[in-house]
């Protein structure tokens, strides 16, 4: 299938698909409302398929890359759902290294997130990407089923699973004791929540277009934070001003970047919302941030 970019679509259609992906409308409602865009021989099915992830586009670091070691680990989470499975990627060489928790979007541990973990391993971090869908059978193989499964998981228990995964990762024998977290969409919001929950145990957090923590919780935050926001992401962006005002008032260390004209999900290289220039710039800034605060 030919790769499309965000500018190939009307913003209204991209916003509509965003609503669908975040469970605000079902597939039937999306198709009904998208009907007006099916013109000139373009079918609704073709529109839908072109907007959904294509994982053939995403792989930047093959799992068999000899510079890294990868595999799956199960972490006990007695306060959460009992346990959480995740993908561990680490450099083939090196003993004690900084560790980074990688938190997925609202669709579970898909191939894109596993690739992000491998990218971190190449950058000399031990990366662990837990699957928040573990308690309902794990990521089901496609994002549509993953999003549906995600809505069935107990949110409070899933948060405890990520807390357990973070503590396990930080305590690993190959960890230097410095813990970072990076997340996308739901995962970006979870990075903000972990900054509150983990306090001094989190050493740096990077949130891509994630919901902000409550302003009343900001005093509990210790970690320096880096935020990446998309210009065309009104729902997330409406929380920025109050959050950053609270961070400033409480003298917290943070940096915030707005990528004007870009879409929510611009780092995810499996969909048309991906923007190569913005994604590369945000990723470079993220690695610099982790290197500064975790080494």
Find the farthest-apart pair of alpha carbons in the chain and give their distance in angstroms, rounded. 59
Q: What is the mean pLDDT of residues 41-47?
A: 85
Report pLDDT digits (tens) over 200-232: 999 999 999 999 999 999 999 999 999 999 999
Torsion of CA 269, 273, 278, 282, to 10 degrees: -60
Structure tokens at 96: 């004690």
Q: How far apart are CA 104 and CA 146, in angstroms?
A: 11
pLDDT band at 106 (very low <50, low <70, confident <90, very high): very high
Which residues is 238 bridged to in the sheet?
none
Asked if residues 37 and 47 have their Cβ atoms less than 8 Å apart, the reply is yes
H helix or E strand, kind and range, residue 129: strand 126-130
Give the least confident one: 59-63, 85-89, 98-102, 115-119.
59-63
Q: Per residue in 173-210, pLDDT tens?
A: 999 999 999 999 999 999 999 999 999 999 999 999 99
Arithmetic mean of pLDDT over the chain? 95
pTM of structure: 0.95
Residues 6+ apart with CB under 8 A from 7: none
Using CA atoms, how far apart are residues 16 and 280, in angstroms rounded to an integer?
26
Per-residue model confidence as pLDDT tens digits over 239-264? 999 999 999 999 999 999 999 999 99
For 54, the token pair is: 């294509």
Q: Phi-psi bin for 172: left (phi > 0), alpha (psi -120 to 50), beta?
A: beta
Residues of the chain within CATH 3.40.50.1820 domain(s) are 56-294
- Res. 4 pLDDT band, cuts 50 70 90: confident
**Mean pLDDT along residues 99-103:** 99
Q: In the predicted model, is pLDDT for residue 167 greater than 70? A: yes
pLDDT in tens, 275-291: 999 999 999 999 999 99
Q: Compute the C-alpha angle 244/294/206, nearest 5°.
A: 35
CATH topology (fold) of 56-294: Rossmann fold (3.40.50)
Question: CA–CA separation, 117 vs 78, rounded Å?
Answer: 25
Question: Given its phi and psi angles, is residue 124 left (phi above 0), alpha (psi -120 to 50 degrees) or beta?
Answer: left
Give the neighbor-by-neighbor strand order of the sheet with 254-263: 68-77, 82-91, 126-130, 97-103, 175-184, 204-208, 225-232, 254-263
DSSP states along 22-47 = TTSS-HHHHHHHHGGG--TT--HHHH
* Two structure tokens written together for 191: 């990075």
pLDDT at 1: 58
Q: Collapsing DSSP states into helix, strand and coil, what is residue 154?
A: coil
Q: Model confidence at 59, in pLDDT bands (50, 70, 90)?
A: confident
Q: How far apart are CA 200 and CA 221, in angstroms?
A: 8
């Amino acid at each position: 299938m030919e790769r499309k970019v965000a500018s190939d679509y009307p913003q209204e259609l991209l916003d509509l698909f965003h609503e669908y992906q975040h469970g605000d409308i079902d597939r039937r409602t999306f198709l009904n409302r998208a009907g007006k865009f099916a013109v000139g021989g373009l079918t609704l099915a073709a529109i839908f398929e072109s907007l959904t992830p294509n994982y053939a586009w995403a792989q930047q670091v093959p799992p068999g890359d000899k510079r890294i070691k990868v595999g799956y680990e199960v972490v006990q989470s007695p306060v959460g759902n009992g346990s959480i499975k995740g993908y561990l990627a680490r450099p083939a060489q090196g003993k004690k290294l900084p560790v980074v928790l990688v938190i997925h979007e609202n669709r579970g541990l898909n191939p894109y997130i596993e690739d992000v973990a491998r990218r971190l391993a190449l950058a000399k971090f031990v990366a662990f990407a837990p699957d928040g869908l573990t308690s309902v059978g794990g990521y089901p193989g496609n994002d549509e089923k993953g999003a549906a499964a995600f809505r069935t998981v107990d949110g409070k228990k899933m948060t405890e699973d990520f807390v357990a995964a973070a503590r396990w990762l930080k305590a690993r024998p190959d960890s230097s004791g410095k813990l970072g977290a990076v997340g996308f969409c739901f995962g970006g919001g979870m990075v903000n929540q972990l900054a509150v929950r983990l306090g001094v145990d989190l050493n740096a957090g990077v949130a891509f277009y994630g919901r902000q923590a409550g302003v009343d919780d900001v005093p509990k935050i210790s970690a320096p934070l880096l935020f990446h926001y998309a210009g065309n992401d009104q729902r997330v962006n409406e929380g920025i001003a109050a959050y950053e005002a609270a961070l400033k008032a409480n003298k917290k260390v943070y940096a915030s970047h707005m990528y004007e004209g870009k879409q929510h999900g611009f780092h995810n290289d499996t969909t048309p919302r991906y923007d190569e220039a913005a994604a590369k710039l945000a990723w470079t800034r993220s690695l610099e941030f982790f290197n500064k605060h975790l080494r």
